[in-house]
Structure 1
Amino acid sequence: MPQEDNLLGSNDTGSDPSAFFLTGVPGLEALNPWISIPLCSVFTRALLGNFTLLYVIKTEPSLHQPMFYFLAMLAIINLILSITTVPKILSIFWFNSREISFNACLVQMFFIHSFSIMESTLLLAMAFDRYVATCNPLRYATILTNSMIAKIGLVALAQAVLLTVPLPFLLRRLPYCRSHIISHCYREHMAVVKLACGDTRVNDIYGIMVVLFIVRLDLMFIILSYVKILRAVLSLASKEEQLKAFSTCGSHLCAILVFYIPNLSSTIPGFGRHVARHIHILLANFYLLFSPMMNPIMYGVKTKQIRDWVRLLF
């Protein structure tokens, strides 16, 4: 597009990162209004679903249990991730509003990465909840007290913030003498690193360490929890008891798959190497909203109290 060519020409030189420009979906600019329709629809469903989930958990006393407290935290995370990214994406598609200041870029990147890390940690906490409920049910109420749940939430938040805070400072130290155009709809750490012309090894190593030692470490402990849950369930006498025990974990297992499969596939070396760039960006936008949209649906379908309240509300 001519506008993008002008932007490229005006930002190829100089190291002042006062502003960046988002391309949206390169090559599909003419389809932006049509792409925005499903995106806006999914965004609306994510907002409606998570706000409804929070309202039901708050107003229904029978849901004042550890698992649903964790679910409320998950809904808040999903809302923050959606609200801090999608409005800017829609402004690109609707109003061609591509410019974003460097500080706003860093703020959005901070929210995306910190709350994604927090979601991973929270899924681990929910796996621990299912482990205690299945393998040590008599001590469930004494282990997962309200104070313990609050501490877990604070630890997840503190860990996410501490791990993400270095990223803006690592990016600020880099010179940006290349194009200031980001070929994406939102700001990720590596998307900004690619625009730097200095030594980015520290950024690369730190980004890989966060993915390997936090997200994948969380997944490893989740798998370990479910191995122990599986062994405990299979030791039950009747098939009915086994099915009942498995059903209590169904929604959480779906949430794990929805979050980790796209996350891990995007970090596999060579994955999607021959896939067009615009397909990568469309899938990234879809992944960003898929989990916030699906979590309320999965837990709503599996939880009778939530289903009943949704029927009353609508």
Structure 2
Amino acid sequence: MLVSNGTNLKHFVMVGFPGLSSAYFGPVSVLLLFVFLAIIVGNAFTVAVIYLIKSLHKPTYIIFVNLAMTDIIFAIVTLPKVISRYWWDDTLTLFGTCFTQMYFVHSMGSITSLILLLMALDRFIAVWFPLRYPTVVNNRSISIACFLCWCLTFIRMVGVVSHALTLPYCGIHGNIIPHCYCDHLSITQLGCGNEVKYVKVVSLGIALFGLLMPLAFIIFSYFSVIVAVIKMSQAESRYRVLSTCAPQIFITCLYYVPRCFVYIAHNLGLKIGQEIQVVIVMLYSFVPAIVNPLIYCFKTKDIKDALSQSDTAP
């Protein structure tokens, strides 16, 4: 286990939902278990369907698979611990385990952001450059792009976590994390020394770049798509493009709007109760992961047609 000089904390105490009465521990743990199962089953089904049905081996569905994988990993990394916290009152998290969880939490968030960017780019090229789409956006190019999203993010997050590990965690500020999982802000605010503010500022800059840079292009891309739809003369073409992009815009808003609100509120000094903040974070962390399979799998025409054909096949 890596620790920096001056660190004497062996574990952190996970609060979960601050202020939650013990009378609700059982129902909350059951609810979180259902959330966990819904995410795992729904996204695993999406991955399996796209993998097994060859007609779905297309760039768009490769992106869907990568998005589903980030949701599965995020759920596996976070939910079992918070479920055990309320099921068995298991509040302790080892020092190294907490940093490992932080690494994957922020990695999956960043990768999801980049995957949503690829999704927007896919629609942008399909609408504005339909003749060049087959040559520019193909299975090979999208697979390479997704691979780079994962690899570059994992490398970048090693630096973020290593920087947080340089802080001494001496116990002056306690070892309580008022959250349902370990994240950078919750951990570094327990650090000691003069470098805490610097570590937070560097991490914030990296987080905002990883959040706002993809968001800026996503907004530009979908705005361009809407402009292109308005210019279309055929109602059928407009409906087809909007039916493809509308779910993606919905998921993007569901992912980004609460996240941006929390970041802006925190940095502008707006007072948000810890309980409300944790609930908001949990909603934008897990609701999209539950909704994604419903939108990208069960509401996608190609997948529905492929499933219906497999059901009727002899």
TM-score by length of structure 2 reads 0.89
Mapped partners of 1:282, 1:36: distance in 2? 15
Counterpart contact for 2:262–2:277, Cα < 8 Å: no
CA shift for structure 1 position 253:
1.1
- Taking structure 1 as reference, are residues 273 and 231 closer, same or farther at Cα in structure 2, changes over 3 Å only? closer
Write out per-residue CA displacement over residues 173-209 of structure 1, whole angstroms, 9 at most, x where no aligned residue.
2122321111112100010011112121221111221
Matched, 1:180 2:179: no
**Number of residue pairs matched by the alignment:** 300
Flag structure 2 segments of 5+ consecutive residues without an equivalent: 1-5
* Aligned residue among 228, 234, 245 for 1:232: 228
CA displacement at 1:219 relative to structure 2: 0.4
Structure 1 vs Structure 2: percent identity of aligned residues? Answer: 30
Q: Given the alignment, which residue of 184, 188, 191 partners 1:193?
A: 188
Moved more, 46-55 or 223-232: 223-232
Letter in 2 for 1:24: G
Aligned to 2:295, which of 281, 292, 298?
298
Query: Which deviates more, 90-99 or 143-152?
Result: 143-152
- Structure 1: runs of 5 or more not aligned: 1-13
Residue by residue over 1:267-311, the C-alpha shift from the partner in whole angstroms, topping out at 9 and shown as x without a partner, is 113589454322322332232211110111112343134335667
Write out per-residue CA displacement over residues 108-164 of structure 1, whole angstroms, 9 at most, x where no aligned residue. Answer: 000000111011011001111111111111221111122211210122112211321
Question: Which amino acid in 2 is paired with 1:282?
Answer: V
- The amino acid of 1:150's aligned partner reads S
**Alignment match of 1:214 (pick from 210, 213, 224):** 210
- Give me the CA root mean square deviation: 2.0
Residue 246 of structure 1 pairs with residue 242 of structure 2 = yes
Is contact 2:265-2:271 (8 Å) kept?
Answer: no
Secondary structure of 1:62's aligned partner: helix
Aligned to 1:57: 50
Could you tell me which residue of structure 2 aligns to residue 307 of structure 1? 304
Which residue is 2:284 aligned to? 287
2:3 paired residue number: none
Residue of 79, 92, 96 corresponding to 1:86: 79
CA offsets per residue over residues 40-65 of structure 1, 9 Å max, x none? 22221111110110111112222111
Check if 1:148 corresponds to 2:145.
Answer: no
Q: Secondary structure at the match of 2:265?
A: coil
Distance 2:307 2:273 in 1: 41
Indicate the larger mover: 158-167 or 212-221. Answer: 158-167
Counting only pairs closer than 5 Å after superposition, residues 248-263 of structure 1 correspond to structure 2 as 248-263=244-259
Contact 1:123 1:256 in 2 (8 A): yes
